[in-house]
Structure 1
Amino acid sequence: MAISLPACQQAQRFLTFPRGLHMDQYIPRRQKNKVVIVVGPTGTGKSRLSIDLATRFNAEIVNSDKMQVYKGLNIVTNKVTEEECRGIRHHLLGIIDPDVDFTSDDFVHHASIAVESIMRKGRLPIIAGGSNSYIKALVNDDLEFQSKYEFFVLWVDVSMAILHSFVSKRVDQMVDAGLVDEAREFFDLEANYTRGIKRAIGVPEMDEFFRNESIVDYETRAKLLKVAIDRIKDNTCKLACRQHQNILRLQNQLKWNMHRLDATEAFLKRGVEADEAWERLVAGPSAGIVECFLHEDDINLVSTISAPPTLTAASVIGTTNATAVAAVTH
């Protein structure tokens, strides 16, 4: 879906100024560079949306997932595949040594460098991931970031009951794809599950199985494996709930510029119908909102000097009404 600036504004061709009105009132203030952030609980489609947006805008993606920054465990941490990336450049994805403790301060340092690099190429930085503490450290606690950039948050949300069912099935798919063998490569009798990539859900839960798989009979081995997989599912669902609560807290306490997109219908459907629902409810509206956000200063200037006032990005951002979004995107 191609979106252009005229879709977000209708500028008056001729402007008249009342007596006493000075042109310097309409000289735009120094604009900050724009950054788009995509958040949401695990499994809601943050990576998909960020890639969808990056293919429509001249954008690159900065990963903000705590476990996906590490090298290895691609299945366990559910990293996007090369095919899923669709040629979009990703930063901070699989670059950190598995045994290193990558802190919020480390993320701020590396993410700032990545965002600056993307900006120098004239592209839009899209920060996407489920680690809300990383994002808060960057956009809320880092004064240098605040001085340079203006950000907007797209929140991809799914009904918890539906999401829990989805992530449970996704774990089964990950097991089929080789999760057990991948996790086994990181098993250590002296393993510390509080450091580095070994904290990832899918590693600690397999510990008891790996310790006993070679010394128990087939039936016991199967039971231990089932217990481990069930724990992975349970802990993933608990993580999704915590992430959802964290987003609500950030929204309520910090008053971030945020728009919630309900993707539940897309998760309830299958095949082509699911893709159509995703485009209609998530990808399409997000693209329109981002377009308006990128040109918000231009729109607000036109609204100030034009009569009657036109619909601006500010009146769209934050709404959950798809009709209002459509009014400025089509």
Structure 2
Amino acid sequence: MTIMISQPPQFPSLSHIPTGGQDPPVRRCRPQNEKVVVVMGATGTGKSRLSIDLATRYRAEVINSDKIQVYEGLDIVTNKITEEECSGVPHHLLGIVNPEADFTARNFVNRASLTMNSIVGRSKLPIIAGGSNSFIEALIDDWNYDFRPRYDVCFLWVDVAMPVLHRFVSDRVDRMVAAGMVEEVRKMYKPNADYSKGIRRAIGVPEFDSYFRAEYSSSVGYKTRAKLLEQAINETKINTCKLACRQLEKIHRLRNDKRWKIHRLDATAFFQNRGHEADESWAEMVAGPGSMIVDQFLLNFGRSRTCGATTGDDRRATKRSPAMAAASLCR
């Protein structure tokens, strides 16, 4: 379903302030920070969908912050967004690293920093989206790069009630198996492979080790292999649910301990509904409020460019904007 939302407010340009004579003194402005939106959430909650919704509304490009999706290959296992799902929105740091390499948080900070510079240099809005909160934290709090003095950031958290999310990710693993996940992993299987680095860390790879070993053994019968396959699929489901819990704990830590201002968007109803009702729930509870929050974030950008002065147009835009109500709704 296409979500129709009004266009974002136009940003006022810097006002010309005359100097000399009896003109009032000029107020000094601090250099204006660039803007970045970060979309967070546990695996399977709809971060990619919201990032596309926002990127098609604004002049934006998406930077992937999933530590496994940065690697080439295993598109099914890693649940990479497809070209069709991208809806023409440019995506960066997606499938660009050798699967045997070890891509660290420091690597991410360096690559993401260069990418953000490129995006803002083309007068576009960077949207960072992904479930690897350790990567996001490393970028935001990196004092060598000085992220905070250079950028203002708007955090959006797509949340889903855990029992509902667990059912969804379990069903998603079944769909991945039906789409060819086992064959995809089999093609890159190596006996005695190191599952602690590269793309082999992905959930859905080490879980199948015993099953593939059995395939290589002539002494293991069909029933045993079938049991090992079922066990591997179940372990993939369990470990994905555990990952979701860890991701949620990290978001709570960033919000409560580090006091990051993170706007919560509850997508539970979307996962509980089907078809048209699901799309309506997404628009009402996630895409709509999320866009309103970003509208307000960018509107403040416009006012700050005029040293805090609020024009009549700004006051009318603020009065019209329901973003503050949306932010309250999503806490």
Q: TM-score range by the shorter chain?
A: 0.7 to 0.9
Q: 1:237-296 CA deviation, whole Å, 9 max, x = no partner?
A: 000000000000011122112100000001100011101110111011111111110121
State the aligned residue count: 311
CA contact (8 A) 1:71 1:95 kept: yes
| Identity across matched positions, percent | 51
Distance in 2 (CA, whole Å) between partners of 1:317 and 1:244 is: 25
User: Where does 1:269-280 land on structure 2 (aligned, <5 Å)?
Assistant: 269-280=273-284
Q: Does 1:319 align with 2:318?
A: no
Q: Which moved more, 1:216-225 or 1:76-85?
A: 216-225
Residue 315 of structure 1 and its aligned partner are, at CA, apart by 7.9
Q: 1:107-164 CA deviation, whole Å, 9 max, x = no partner?
A: 0000001111111111100000000000001011244222221111000000000000
Q: Does 1:128 align with 2:123?
A: no
Once superposed, what is the RMSD of the aligned Cα atoms? 2.7
Distance 1:94 1:240, change over 3 A: same
In structure 2, which of residues 222, 237, 243 is the aligned counterpart of residue 218 of structure 1? Answer: 222
| Equivalent residue number for residue 231 of structure 1 | 235
| Equivalent residue number for residue 158 of structure 2 | 156
Distance in 1 (CA, whole Å) between partners of 2:83 and 2:116 is: 21
Unmatched tracts of structure 1, length 5 or more: 10-20, 325-330
Distance in 2 (CA, whole Å) between partners of 1:152 and 1:23 is: 33
| Equivalent residue number for residue 73 of structure 2 | 72
SS in 2 for 1:192: coil
Distance in 1 (CA, whole Å) between partners of 2:192 and 2:224 is: 23
Q: Which structure dedicates a bigger proportion of its chain to helix?
A: 1
Residue 233 of structure 1 and its aligned partner are, at CA, apart by 0.1
Residue 306 of structure 1 and its aligned partner are, at CA, apart by 7.1
SS in 1 for 2:85: helix
Distance 1:241 1:188, change over 3 A: same
Q: Which moved more, 1:256-265 or 1:238-247?
A: 256-265
Q: Does 1:173 align with 2:181?
A: no
SS in 2 for 1:60: strand
Q: 1:45-81 CA deviation, whole Å, 9 max, x = no partner?
A: 0011001110111100000000000000000000001
Distance in 2 (CA, whole Å) between partners of 1:64 and 1:319 is: 24
| Equivalent residue number for residue 104 of structure 2 | 103
Distance 1:154 1:236, change over 3 A: same
Distance 1:23 1:169, change over 3 A: farther
SS in 2 for 1:295: helix
Q: How high is the TM-score relative to the length of structure 1?
A: 0.87
Distance in 1 (CA, whole Å) between partners of 2:273 and 2:135 is: 32
CA contact (8 A) 1:3 1:288 kept: no
Residue 318 of structure 1 and its aligned partner are, at CA, apart by 8.5
CA contact (8 A) 2:296 2:323 kept: no
Which residue identity does 1:148 align to in structure 2?
A: R
In structure 1, which of residues 186, 189, 194 is the aligned counterpart of residue 188 of structure 2? Answer: 186
CA contact (8 A) 2:76 2:176 kept: yes
Distance 1:263 1:79, change over 3 A: same
Q: How high is the TM-score relative to the length of structure 2?
A: 0.87
CA contact (8 A) 1:101 1:195 kept: yes
CA contact (8 A) 1:50 1:126 kept: yes
User: Where does 1:83-94 land on structure 2 (aligned, <5 Å)?
Assistant: 83-94=84-95
In structure 1, which of residues 234, 244, 249 is the aligned counterpart of residue 248 of structure 2? Answer: 244
Which residue identity does 1:128 align to in structure 2?
A: A
Residue 24 of structure 1 and its aligned partner are, at CA, apart by 3.4
| Equivalent residue number for residue 59 of structure 2 | 58
Which residue identity does 2:92 align to in structure 1?
A: H
| Equivalent residue number for residue 4 of structure 1 | 8
Unmatched tracts of structure 2, length 5 or more: 13-22
SS in 1 for 2:264: strand
CA contact (8 A) 1:64 1:131 kept: yes
SS in 2 for 1:44: coil
SS in 2 for 1:36: strand
In structure 2, which of residues 262, 266, 290 is the aligned counterpart of residue 262 of structure 1? Answer: 266
Distance in 2 (CA, whole Å) between partners of 1:187 and 1:61 is: 31
| Equivalent residue number for residue 281 of structure 1 | 285
| Equivalent residue number for residue 137 of structure 1 | 138
Residue 2 of structure 1 and its aligned partner are, at CA, apart by 2.3
CA contact (8 A) 2:72 2:97 kept: yes
CA contact (8 A) 2:289 2:323 kept: no
CA contact (8 A) 1:260 1:318 kept: no
Distance in 2 (CA, whole Å) between partners of 1:57 and 1:176 is: 36
Distance in 2 (CA, whole Å) between partners of 1:297 and 1:29 is: 13
| Equivalent residue number for residue 328 of structure 1 | none
Residue 29 of structure 1 and its aligned partner are, at CA, apart by 3.3
